[in-house]
Structure 1
Amino acid sequence: MKQIFLRIGVVLLLFSACNDNDVDITQDQIEIDMSDFFVYTDFDTSVTSKKVQGKGNIEPCYTMQNLNRLLNENPALEKRMYDIEYHTRKFVAAKKPTGTPGGGPPGNNEDPDPPTDPIPYDGPITIPVVVNIIENYEGQVSDTQINSQIAILNEDFNNSNPNTSQVPNEFANLVANYNITFTLSEINRKISNKKSWGTRDAMKSSKKGGIDATDTSHYLNIWVCEIGGGILGYAQFPGGRASTDGVVISTNYFGETGGVYGDGRTATHEVGHWLNLRHIWGDGGCSVDDYVDDTPISDGPNYGCPEHPTTACGSTDMTMNYMDYVYDDCMYMFTVDQHTRSRALFASDGFRSSFVNSN
Structure 2
Amino acid sequence: MAEAETRTYGAVQSALAAHSKLAAAVERSAFPNAGVTLPITFHVVLWNGRWSTSDLAAPPLKPQQIADQVAQLNRDYNGTGLQFASPKVRFHTRKDWADTCWAKLGEILAAVNTAPAAAVNVIVCDLASSGGILGVMPDMPNGQNERDPSQAVAVDFRSMPGGPYTRYSGGRTLTHELGHYFGLLHTFGDGSCATAGGHDGIADTPAQRELSNGCPVGKDSCPNQPGKDAVNNFMDYSDDACMTSFSLGQAARMQAVMLQFRPTLLARALRRAGAGNSAAGTPPPPKPQLSASRRAPPPPPRRLAAGGQQQRPCRPPSQKRQNTHLPS
TM above 0.5, one fold? yes
Which residue of 2 is the match for residue 117 of structure 1?
Answer: 30
CA 217–205 in structure 1, closer or farther in 2 if over 3 Å, else same: closer
Task: Tell me, yes or no, if structure 1 residue 353 matches structure 2 residue 263.
Answer: yes
SS in 1 for 2:91: strand
Deviation for aligned residue 1:60? 5.2
Check conservation: 2:36, 2:82, Cα contact below 8 A.
yes
Check conservation: 2:73, 2:175, Cα contact below 8 A.
yes
Task: Tell me, yes or no, if structure 1 residue 216 matches structure 2 residue 116.
Answer: yes
Deviation for aligned residue 1:230? 1.8
Task: Tell me, yes or no, if structure 1 residue 141 matches structure 2 residue 81.
Answer: no
CA distance in 2, matches of 1:214, 1:185: 17
Q: Which runs of 5+ in 1 are unaligned?
A: 1-54, 69-77, 93-113, 159-176, 207-211
CA 185–330 in structure 1, closer or farther in 2 if over 3 Å, else same: closer
CA distance in 1, matches of 2:37, 2:118: 10
Amino acid at match of 1:281: F
Which residue of 2 is the match for residue 324 of structure 1?
Answer: 236
CA 146–343 in structure 1, closer or farther in 2 if over 3 Å, else same: same
Task: Tell me, yes or no, if structure 1 residue 249 matches structure 2 residue 172.
Answer: no
Deviation for aligned residue 1:197? 1.8
Q: Equivalent of 2:110, from 183, 187, 205?
A: 205
Q: Equivalent of 2:174, from 247, 267, 270?
A: 267
Amino acid at match of 2:64: T
Which residue of 2 is the match for residue 225 of structure 1?
Answer: 125
Moved more, 145-154 or 191-200: 191-200
CA distance in 1, matches of 2:4, 2:153: 18
CA distance in 1, matches of 2:262, 2:22: 12
Task: Tell me, yes or no, if structure 1 residue 182 matches structure 2 residue 84.
Answer: yes
CA distance in 2, matches of 1:138, 1:181: 30
CA 58–327 in structure 1, closer or farther in 2 if over 3 Å, else same: farther
Task: Tell me, yes or no, if structure 1 residue 238 matches structure 2 residue 141.
Answer: yes
CA distance in 2, matches of 1:333, 1:269: 11
CA distance in 2, matches of 1:276, 1:270: 10
Amino acid at match of 2:65: Q
Task: Tell me, yes or no, if structure 1 residue 129 matches structure 2 residue 32.
Answer: no
Between structure 1 and structure 2, the one with the greater Rg is 1
Which residue of 2 is the match for residue 90 of structure 1?
Answer: 24
Aligned-CA RMSD value: 2.5
CA distance in 2, matches of 1:119, 1:260: 36
Check conservation: 1:204, 1:244, Cα contact below 8 A.
yes
Length-normalised TM-score, structure 2: 0.68
Task: Tell me, yes or no, if structure 1 residue 61 matches structure 2 residue 2.
Answer: no
Length-normalised TM-score, structure 1: 0.62
CA distance in 1, matches of 2:42, 2:125: 11
Task: Looking at secondary structure, tell me which structure has more strand per residue.
Answer: 1
Deviations along 1:205-241, one digit per CA (max 9) or x if unpaired, are 33xxxxx214211200000112233211111311246
Deviation for aligned residue 1:344? 0.6
Moved more, 222-231 or 135-144: 135-144
SS in 2 for 1:332: coil
Q: Equivalent of 2:221, from 304, 312, 315?
A: 312
Check conservation: 2:67, 2:87, Cα contact below 8 A.
no
Check conservation: 1:247, 1:271, Cα contact below 8 A.
yes
CA 57–89 in structure 1, closer or farther in 2 if over 3 Å, else same: same
Deviation for aligned residue 1:142? 2.1
Deviation for aligned residue 1:157? 0.3
CA 218–87 in structure 1, closer or farther in 2 if over 3 Å, else same: farther
Which residue of 2 is the match for residue 13 of structure 1?
Answer: none
Which residue of 2 is the match for residue 31 of structure 1?
Answer: none
Amino acid at match of 2:232: M
Deviation for aligned residue 1:191? 1.9
Amino acid at match of 2:167: V
Which residue of 2 is the match for residue 96 of structure 1?
Answer: none
Percent of paired sites with the same residue: 26
Check conservation: 2:70, 2:87, Cα contact below 8 A.
no
Which residue of 1 is the match for residue 186 of structure 2?
Answer: 279
CA distance in 1, matches of 2:28, 2:23: 13
Task: Tell me, yes or no, if structure 1 residue 299 matches structure 2 residue 299.
Answer: no
